Amino acid sequence: MSNQKKEYKTLLSVLANGSTDNARKLLKKHSGEDAKDTKDLELKLAKMYAYSPKKIDIEKEFAQIHPHKDFILKYLAPKPVEKPVEKTEEKKEEKKEVVGQTFIDYGYMNFNGHPPCGNPNCPYCAKYFNGSKFQGYSDTLQD
């Protein structure tokens, strides 16, 4: 290497000069070649990238070996975005008081198409209510 000041004009020149060992490993991995010097390494990395069908994978590997990766990520890493918590309205469940099995459980219908509701005060169901039990359609009904 000469004492001449190096100019890093491209990403590949930064990789070839700043991460030479890792760049050589990457070149060998993808092309099977090695480079004579950093200028040759830069050119062969460019050729390897240009002919690669998996450019995104190569770019990710370039990012991993970049000599300033930690510095860049320290200041420019995307901050995690918090999703706003949606307040979900609790579904109000209707409370249904179960007095016992109703006639509807057994598929019976009262007169005039009224399904027996099990209410002793119901004019349609009252005739089946006897004191404390519903009777008439099924002996298996309980209060």
Amino acid, res. 57:
D
Tens digits of residue pLDDT in 37-82: 999 999 999 999 999 999 999 999 999 999 999 988 888 877 777 8
Tens digits of residue pLDDT in 85-122: 776 665 555 555 545 444 444 444 544 555 666 666 77
Torsion sign (Cα): 30, 12, 38, 48 = positive
pTM metric for this prediction: 0.50
Give me the helices (H) in 52-92, please: 55-65, 69-76
The structure tokens 């999703």 sit at 83
- Total residue count of the chain as it appears in this document: 143
Per domain, the residue ranges of the chain are: 11-76, 98-143
- 3-class secondary-structure state, position 102: coil
12-21, 73-82, 120-129, range with the lowest pLDDT: 120-129
User: How many beta carbons lie within 10 A of that of residue 126, not counting itself?
Assistant: 11
Please report the pLDDT score of residue 85 as a whole number.
75
